[in-house]
Structure 1
Amino acid sequence: MWASMYYRPDANRPIAFAAILLLMLSTAHLVIDIIRLEDGFVKYRDVFPGGPVAYFQDISQPTFVTKNLIYAVQTMLGDGVVIYRCYAVWQSVWVIILPCMLWCCSSVAALLAPYYASQATGGSIFTTETSKWITALFALTLATNLISTGLLVYRIWTIECKISSSRVTNGTMMPIVYVLIDAAILYSAALLTILVCFVCANNAQYIMLDMIMPIISISFYMVLFRLTPREPTPRLLPVTYSATINGRESGILPQYPLKPLEVHISQWTHNE
């Protein structure tokens, strides 16, 4: 956030707000994880029926429901930012119709999964009604991320191909494409792993669920920091000067600051 505000005084406020929310959600998820571990292994170790194993398998626990709700909100926020970037590059609503539909479906699944978990009275997370919504959430989120990032990368790549022949400098947009692909691969690999673990009823999905929360923020910050210029953006101070137009003096406010200009005038005189 410091780099974004320092190097870009005109930083995008919605993107900055999303970055702050991701930080808060990731931190809250970590805090709830610590509380959940302390409750399971220390506080309720000898009083909960079945001990720590039964405690952590109980998906109706408030800590479990809360951490999944936080994950749902962070997933919705992260996918929404990817769709927003796609729209900002394409400047067309038609392009993001499919990603928006997938985002709406994944949002419904993300909110229903914690609800059904809170209503569960027993059984494993893999056998209750919650499992269907969690599977749908992982699949829809993976599809949304891949489609939105694919459209974004394709658009930047086509623009790069069109202007590469007429560019007069050595600049290129391919580093942005690379970091977008890296962020998409990082997030998609984590999503695919957690989806496979959940479908196979493997408890490793709990580990991946805790890992994917910071991964969402990391993939977001990768792109945000890569788009930040390396040098501070100079603040252009407007310079006002006077000019005489049709005998009247009028103030002119140029768009860019002016520099002193030295002019040499040669005068030819013809004498008869």
Structure 2
Amino acid sequence: MASTVTGMPLDAAAIMSTVLEGILYGFSVLMFIGTIWTFTYKKRTRDVNRPIAAVAVFLFLLSTMHMVIDIIQLEDGLVKYRNTFPGGPTAFFADYTQETYVVKAALNLTQTLLADGVVVYRCYIVWKSARVMILPCMMWCAVAVCGGFTVYDLSLTSDANSVFTDQAGHWVTAFIFFTFTTNLFSSALLAYRIWTIERNISTVHTRRGIRPIVRVLVDAAVLYSAANLSAVICFALSNNGTYVIGNFLINPIISISFYMVFIRIAINEDTQDFLSTVSRTIETDRGIPLHYPMQTLQTAFRENNTSSWLK
């Protein structure tokens, strides 16, 4: 039995979601500029963290491409093919076989994998344990597999309403679930590791330095997780809100989550003092001093996710 689809018509949803995405994209552009400034201000070229700078630029390019394609698609559905597409604008925006939809789905997958991968990598940098990272890595691989099948199955779907009942819907559900859990689980591991580090640092000043780190990680995780959870709820209710969140709003949210982690930690002096203390020596649970290079720790704490997340 086919489920009853609720929510606004897809042409109206396309207009609303493109406007909301434009607002979030503008905010992400400002945060991208702030991120680049933190990379380059009073620093020599060789001192710039190039891998993380590359991730920031890549996320910006992906979200920009996504925004441009959304505008093109909106113009095609409401102007160019308004009177020629069978079924009108509503049918146009329900046809996932269009090239613009396929490209957007591929961009969504690429950005999600990049953001979730950064979260998992940052967690590994802090834990330095391959055994701890087995489950997060498996979950990331599940995101890649489910995302790949999602893109493929959606490219064969000519009616968006059928997504809630056919095989593509199962892949969409699995994809959202795994990216949600990957981001949440990796963030929890990271926060727990930071908390255990704090217990082994006796100075009051460095204990205060832990709070901004935990706070920014929690904020980024909540932001991305809330977006994914909203998509899951809308999908479970067969509501077109899934279309708005999944196709339009997730991309700028991923970028914003990445930028907010880097900027908020980079500008906090107590956090820098804390990182300096940790970089000299960290007492592990076994009581063995574990030395971390300063650059490595700053790389770990300044990266995002988003996911993962912390996209």
- Classify the TM-score, shorter chain: 0.7 to 0.9
Question: Which of 230, 238, 248 is matched with 1:193 structurally?
Answer: 230
Change (3 A) 1:92 1:135: same
Offset from partner CA, 1:174-209 (integer Å, 9 cap, x none): 111100000000100010001111122100112212
Name structure 2 gaps, 5 residues minimum.
1-35, 273-311
How far residue 171 of structure 1 moved from its aligned partner, in angstroms, is 5.2
Letter of the 1:196 partner, please give it: I
Q: RMSD of aligned C-alpha atoms?
A: 1.9
TM-score (norm 2): 0.70
Give the structure 1 partner of residue 155 of structure 2: 118
How far residue 229 of structure 1 moved from its aligned partner, in angstroms, is 4.5
Please give the secondary structure, in 1, of the residue aligned with 2:257.
Answer: helix
Give the structure 1 partner of residue 108 of structure 2: 71
| CA–CA distance in structure 2, aligned partners of residues 170 and 95 of structure 1 | 25
* Pair 1:207 & 2:244 matched: yes
Name structure 1 gaps, 5 residues minimum.
234-272
How far residue 5 of structure 1 moved from its aligned partner, in angstroms, is 2.2
Letter of the 1:226 partner, please give it: R
* Pair 1:47 & 2:89 matched: no
Question: Which of 41, 46, 59 is matched with 1:6 structurally?
Answer: 41
Mapped contact 1:183–1:223 kept (Cα < 8 A): yes
Question: Which of 199, 207, 231 is matched with 1:161 structurally?
Answer: 199
Larger radius of gyration: 1
More helix by share: 2
Mapped contact 1:87–1:93 kept (Cα < 8 A): yes
| CA–CA distance in structure 1, aligned partners of residues 66 and 267 of structure 2 | 31
Within a 5 Å distance, the mapping from 1:104-253 to structure 2 comes to 104-122=141-159, 124-163=162-201, 165-166=202-203, 172-209=209-246, 210-229=248-267
Question: Which of 131, 137, 156 is matched with 1:100 structurally?
Answer: 137
| CA–CA distance in structure 2, aligned partners of residues 69 and 12 of structure 1 | 28
* Pair 1:36 & 2:73 matched: yes
Mapped contact 1:4–1:228 kept (Cα < 8 A): no
How far residue 142 of structure 1 moved from its aligned partner, in angstroms, is 0.4
Give the structure 2 partner of residue 81 of structure 1: 118
| CA–CA distance in structure 2, aligned partners of residues 168 and 136 of structure 1 | 44
| CA–CA distance in structure 2, aligned partners of residues 170 and 133 of structure 1 | 44
Letter of the 1:81 partner, please give it: V
Please give the secondary structure, in 1, of the residue aligned with 2:174.
Answer: helix
Change (3 A) 1:170 1:176: closer
* Pair 1:91 & 2:137 matched: no
By relative contact order (CA 8 Å, sep 6+), the higher-ranking structure is 2
TM-score (norm 1): 0.80
How far residue 167 of structure 1 moved from its aligned partner, in angstroms, is 5.4
| CA–CA distance in structure 1, aligned partners of residues 173 and 43 of structure 2 | 40
Mapped contact 1:176–1:227 kept (Cα < 8 A): yes
Mapped contact 2:106–2:151 kept (Cα < 8 A): yes
